[in-house]
Homo-oligomer: A and B are copies of this chain.
Amino acid sequence: MSVIRPIDHLLRKLNGPSGVSGQDFERVAAVRLNLRYMKAGAEIIREGDRPSQCCLIVDGFAARSKSIAKGKRQIMSLHQRGDLPDLQGLHLDHADHDLIALTECRVGFISYNIMEELIFLSPAIGSFFWREALIDAAIFREWIVNIGRREGLPRVAHLFCEQAIRLKQQGLGDETGFPNFLKQTVIADATGQSGVHVNRIMQALRRRKLVETNDDRLDILSWEGLVAAADFRSDYLHLR
């Protein structure tokens, strides 16, 4: 029974078919994280920041978001433990959006110098980071489609399908459900709708026996039904 270290959730991803092993793997395992606790609602990174450290989500859930005129907010992505929602800092000098904690979070910071050194010493690690960033982008594209072309209910259903699959990769959920970190206002901001409307969509999803929620879990009552309602295909997640 070994203790789970903060870096382990990142290592879990490397452990897969990423091609990072042996000495390279050990190099990542040896990285020292600068750990911080964040309260729910805290800004981990703020738009305009020029961060010198890259951030790894160790525990909890976070979201990238932007606020525009009139206090409207849009969430562009959701993040869980093991995610590096901040890779763009490697090559872009300022953050163009916020990173906010949706729940209480533990985050680990790694200086970009160390990141660059890892990439320099190991092409396999570089490829792994590349791939993470490219999948990120693929998810952005799918969100554009989701928000631009699907109606309210399919849009929310699609979000749930995506989360179920992504959370499963980190052992946080599966096709039967996942921890309920998605408040209705978060769903609203992630799908580009009003809170009131999302509330009515949730009622419809319950009525159709697709989804049930309580304080700590979102249960998917029929995976096939939800997938059909969402018109969901997982190709864009590039699972392997």
Residues of A in contact with B (beta carbons under 8 Å apart): 47-48, 64, 66, 68-69, 72-74, 76-77, 87-88, 90-94, 96-97, 120, 123, 126-127, 130-131, 133-138, 140-145, 147-150, 191-192, 231, 235-236, 238
Interface of A is mostly: helix
Q: A92's closest neighbor in chain B, by CB?
A: B238
The 5 closest A-B pairs by CB, nearest first: A148-B192, A140-B140, A96-B236, A137-B137, A91-B131
Closest to A94 in B: B235
Stoichiometry (number of copies): 2
A118 to chain B, nearest CB (A): 13
The distance in angstroms between the C-alpha atoms of A150 and B235, with both chains bound, is 29
A148 touches B93 (CB 8 A): no
A141 to chain B, nearest CB (A): 5
In the bound assembly, the distance between CA atoms of A134 and B180 in angstroms comes to: 31
